[in-house]
Structure 1
Amino acid sequence: MTQTAKMSLTAAAAALLAAGVTLTTTASGWTLPGFGKTPATAAAADASSGSASPTTVALATPTATPATAGALPPAQLPNYRAIVQTQGPAVVGITVAGLHKVGNMESDDDASSASNGQGGDDPFFRFFRGIPGLRMPQQMNPGAQPFRGQGSGFIISSDGLVLTNAHVVRDAKQVTVKLSDRREFSAKVLGSDPATDIAVLKVDAKGLPTVQLGDPKQVQVGDYVLAIGAPYGFEQTATQGIVSAKGRSLPGESVVPFIQTDAAVNPGNSGGPLFDASGRVVGVNAQIYSQSGGFQGLAFSIPVDVALKVKDQIVAHGKVEHARLGVTLQDLSAPLAASFGLDAPNGALVSSVVPGSAAAKAGLKAGDVITAIDGETVHVAGDISSRVGLARPGDKLKLELWRDKSRTTETVALGHADKDEQEAAAAPQGASLGLALRPLQPQELRGSGLDHGLLIERVAGPSQLAGVQPGDVLLALNGKPVQDVEQVRAALKSNPKQVALLVSRDGQQIFVPVRLG
């Protein structure tokens, strides 16, 4: 070895040592400590196999340097190769086929959606897209658009339970699960939950490989993570990164406290697993933030404990029920905290309480600051949204409150989200508008300058075809002002063939004709 080569090697080793990596030499070259194996156990294994004992390269100076106060212990790099080899066989590709109703297609379902104006300008989106080149020809049915697509998933039980994203299998008539060994199985969708974006599939097989499940609560910002999935249909693709943040609340996704990472994920990764450095699944890859449609360094995963809670309900009951507290919350700023007599801006400020809700029955009122739930400190409003959204209706929570500059507690029995967010789409013995409606809160009325109306939270079916959008405010139906959902239900019981909706959008009022028959 030349002197120059020796110097380069020494410099490289010194750089790795500074990063907390121990280097050893063997007959075959340089190696790193293995996955699940310390250098000591690796040396013992080499000795037992008859190989030469590795020589530790000592790069530290002979004189011991006193530990600096607050110094961090060296981190051990994960063995990504071992994680892929041991856990990769349980990661599956999911191919779906079906029909989308025209006008009911979201940006995450159609590879052309970014160019057709249907949500393509929203940088937050779920990243399931159709495989390039697998667009199906338009058929005779003018009310539906055929589609095929590719997502990802992972096996959690040897008898064929698979977790993936709900948006991967939405509207799918055929679902096929493909293993890394090229076996393919037709899958049944046991159930899905749009609120958390989790779906459970079942394939008819035994003895399948399964992933190891981890604890997302133990994962910290800066920890190594590995994603495996099928971006753009390229199966068994592995990418690595770190945890960038925890407990992220995304627009319209308050139920899920997302794990943010910088592991490269792209369309087709949806539903695939996120592994920690020990090779255990801690998340389900679900969304990215992108202004280009591809990966830009911001990916979001559903904590696996959230997914497992949803799975348990789906397996037991075939559906998922979510609870509702019935309050509007906002984060505390330092000035707000000071005005309420708090030393620090920790907690969630109650800005309004829905009449008749669980919160109202428990005595909560605007101006209360929720500082803890069941003994766990509340830092931001998202802590409450995710905790309540993942609870079951009827569950009781002990809320610690800051009220009138003193501490108090209230116990609340949670209500039912589906009943509180009454959907006109489910109106019995009547036509379906396809709208999810709720009354405007007082502060929303003040901010909009309106004196009445129902906020349109979700749109499907006839109303979506007519151009009604989430965020519109329904003011009147067939010329009659509406104050609550029951008025809408009553107007639909006669099964009208067409209705006229007066909606407020961006400060302007427009009539939208909706054909129902």
Structure 2
Amino acid sequence: MNQVSRPIAILIGLVFCLLLPLGAVARDLPDFTTLFEQQGPAVVNISTQQEHGSAPAMRFSVPDLPEDSPFHDFFRRFFGDEGEMPNEEIPSRSLGSGFIISHDGDVLTNAHVVEGASEIIVRTADRREFVATIVGSDKRSDIALLKIDGKDLPVTKLGSANDLKVGEWVLAIGSPFGFEHSMTAGIVSAKGRNLPSENYVPFIQTDVAINPGNSGGPLFNLDGEVVGVNSQIYSRTGGFMGLSFAIPIDVAMDVVHQLKTKGRVTRGWLGVLIQDVTRDLAETFGMPQPMGALVAQVLPDGPAAKAGLEAGDIILSFDGKKVATSSALPPLVGTSPVDQPAEVEILRDGKTMKIDVVIGELPDDDVLASSGGSPEPETTINRIGLVISDLTADQRAELGIVVGGVQVDSVANGTAEQAGIRDGDVILAVNHQPVENVTQFNNLLDELEPGRSVALLVQRGGGRLYYPVRIPDGKS
């Protein structure tokens, strides 16, 4: 072999070696054709007609953009605060998807797909059309159960989302933009996601391409089992951007069962307002690492109040299930049987203890009272950069505060501002010690060592949260 041909032969050999593994990987990719052939016939297209416009085609998690962002007005104008596509003016346009779960015509879809509809048309894969009625709908979980008059209909195979693993292949079949029976594939990106508008649904996050019209359609695993109901996307453009959310089929079927047997959905209720435990808050509570759900407020006469839970308790587990973050608690409580006891493990004053709570039923309306007016402010800026004043008796009555508390009249440059304290906030406690008045509050601050973080219990509007504030060097 001459001097020229030898390097060429080596190069060809290297290329061959590189291409061989790629071919092996390609052969290992799953084949989705059988799944589509077996499960596709049970996926339906849903269109609605309304007297005044039609239902939104897809819910969106609208990003929290600053007010000076050029996209801020755009999103609020076209998608609203709830993140919904603008209503279509054309009646009977394909708005969503669904899937058949019984041979006699039970159809599962999203509640927002059929909300406000005067007529619902379900179209099957073989081009048959049925007029559907709504058996029941649950806005909190975004699940609706429809009924069509059919016999021996194809049905989907139902699985469970509990065994899903991050990285596992999943597939969606639906009608994006009205293109019926479109299949898209991706992987599970995360589990147990909580979105601002749905605290009681532990969403499955995927990177499956989901677009308006996919709402209510099934999410399959590779065994051809439905593991979720496609519901929402997170988007800056109104289209797919790699973040899709599906309701676990276990949650959906629990809702279906309640709608069929009781006509409505009940959820467990603990009666607390909670927040996440940040690294700084964990330090103030003497915890080696952040975990659990911090109780910011115990609602009067609620199950937690009757059981003895207190603001400042950190819920570590609920009914034997670990609570790693605050978002993990609402789904656990929501699926708990009403009027039955549940064991809650908490951290209080550095010690763990267990409390039995009889779970109540989640009320229809959890509207909390708004804050009252501001008294005449003082001008002294304290150690953390706040100007505060004592609350009047009328203010306490309006805010639901029995005794104590100080109001923030203005926030100067300082560690309180950095922590997120705002004008109008009411500070109720410092490191779990109740605040009685301005003098006592400032004395508590002056006694604290520089550089450490303290937990301020703050009431803002009708809610309460803990804020970790670092004590700066020097005194007021």
Per the normalisation by structure 1, the TM-score is 0.64
Cα deviation digits, residues 34-67 of structure 1 (max 9, x gap): xxxxxxxxxxxxxxxxxxxxxxxxxxxxxxxxxx
**Match of 2:318?**
373
**Match of 1:359?**
304
Whether 2:352 is the aligned partner of 1:345: answer no
5+ residue gaps, structure 1, are 22-31, 33-75, 137-146, 423-436, 455-503, 505-517
- The 2-side partners of 1:276 and 1:94 are apart by 23
| Equivalent of 2:341 in 380, 389, 396 | 396
**Match of 1:59?**
none
- The 1-side partners of 2:50 and 2:231 are apart by 21
Letter of the structure 1 residue corresponding to residue 328 of structure 2: D
Whether 2:74 is the aligned partner of 1:120: answer no
Identical columns (%): 43
- In structure 2, the CA distance between the partners of 1:5 and 1:184, relative to structure 1 (3 Å rule), is farther
**Match of 2:474?**
none
Whether 2:212 is the aligned partner of 1:267: answer yes
C-alpha displacement of 1:264: 0.5
- The 2-side partners of 1:301 and 1:83 are apart by 19
Please show how residues 363-442 of structure 1 align to structure 2 within 5 Å.
363-418=308-363, 421=365, 437-439=367-369
Whether 2:37 is the aligned partner of 1:79: answer no
**Match of 1:482?**
none
- The 1-side partners of 2:371 and 2:161 are apart by 35
Letter of the structure 2 residue corresponding to residue 198 of structure 1: I
Letter of the structure 1 residue corresponding to residue 97 of structure 2: S
**Match of 2:243?**
298
SS of the aligned residue for 1:269 comes to coil
5+ residue gaps, structure 2, are 1-8, 61-72, 373-385, 401-460, 462-476
SS of the aligned residue for 2:21 comes to helix
- The 2-side partners of 1:105 and 1:344 are apart by 45
**Match of 1:468?**
none
SS of the aligned residue for 2:162 comes to helix
Letter of the structure 1 residue corresponding to residue 212 of structure 2: P
Letter of the structure 1 residue corresponding to residue 19 of structure 2: A
8 A contact 1:327–1:351 mirrored in 2: yes
- In structure 2, the CA distance between the partners of 1:284 and 1:417, relative to structure 1 (3 Å rule), is same
- In structure 2, the CA distance between the partners of 1:128 and 1:177, relative to structure 1 (3 Å rule), is farther
**Match of 2:114?**
169
**Match of 1:135?**
90
SS of the aligned residue for 1:99 comes to coil
C-alpha displacement of 1:192: 0.3
- The 1-side partners of 2:348 and 2:238 are apart by 46
C-alpha displacement of 1:453: 6.9
SS of the aligned residue for 1:200 comes to strand
- In structure 2, the CA distance between the partners of 1:127 and 1:295, relative to structure 1 (3 Å rule), is farther
SS of the aligned residue for 2:101 comes to strand
C-alpha displacement of 1:100: 4.0
Per the normalisation by structure 2, the TM-score is 0.69
- In structure 2, the CA distance between the partners of 1:149 and 1:107, relative to structure 1 (3 Å rule), is closer
- In structure 2, the CA distance between the partners of 1:440 and 1:401, relative to structure 1 (3 Å rule), is farther
- In structure 2, the CA distance between the partners of 1:286 and 1:231, relative to structure 1 (3 Å rule), is same
- The 1-side partners of 2:59 and 2:206 are apart by 23
**Match of 1:94?**
46
- In structure 2, the CA distance between the partners of 1:10 and 1:235, relative to structure 1 (3 Å rule), is farther
- The 1-side partners of 2:340 and 2:244 are apart by 32
SS of the aligned residue for 1:201 comes to strand
- The 1-side partners of 2:32 and 2:19 are apart by 21
Please show how residues 274-353 of structure 1 align to structure 2 within 5 Å.
274-353=219-298
C-alpha displacement of 1:99: 2.5
- What is the alpha-carbon root mean square deviation over aligned residues? 3.2
Letter of the structure 1 residue corresponding to residue 79 of structure 2: G
- The 2-side partners of 1:323 and 1:206 are apart by 36
C-alpha displacement of 1:149: 4.5
8 A contact 1:126–1:288 mirrored in 2: no
- In structure 2, the CA distance between the partners of 1:295 and 1:335, relative to structure 1 (3 Å rule), is same
Whether 2:149 is the aligned partner of 1:204: answer yes
| Equivalent of 1:13 in 20, 32, 54 | 20
- In structure 2, the CA distance between the partners of 1:325 and 1:228, relative to structure 1 (3 Å rule), is same
Please show how residues 452-491 of structure 1 align to structure 2 within 5 Å.
452=398
SS of the aligned residue for 1:209 comes to coil
Please show how residues 170-189 of structure 1 align to structure 2 within 5 Å.
170-189=115-134
C-alpha displacement of 1:5: 10
Letter of the structure 1 residue corresponding to residue 83 of structure 2: F
- The 2-side partners of 1:237 and 1:162 are apart by 18
How many residues get paired? Answer: 360
SS of the aligned residue for 1:245 comes to strand
Higher mean C-alpha displacement, 317-326 vs 237-246: 317-326
